[in-house]
Amino acid sequence: MIKIRLKACGRKQQTRLIYSAIVHFLELGAQPTETVHGIL
């Protein structure tokens, strides 16, 4: 049902990565998941 609403609103199913924000949280001690580690 959520996917139907997203399509009805015209939102794209695309993720935007803000690298500066990711690096900031990693510097604060966040542990990256395997997916994030693979991207970076």
The 10s digit of each residue's pLDDT in 1-40 is 455 555 556 556 666 777 888 788 888 888 878 877 777 6
Which pLDDT score, from 0 to 100, does residue 3 have? 56
Domain annotation covers residue 37: yes
The two three-digit tokens of residue 21, written as one number: 């924000």
Query: Whole-angstrom distance between the N-terminal and C-terminal Cα of the chain?
Result: 32
Residue 4: what pLDDT? Answer: 56
Q: Is residue 5 part of a domain?
A: no
Domain containing residue 29: 14-40
Say if CB 13 and CB 6 are below 8 A apart: yes
- Provide the domain count of the chain: 1
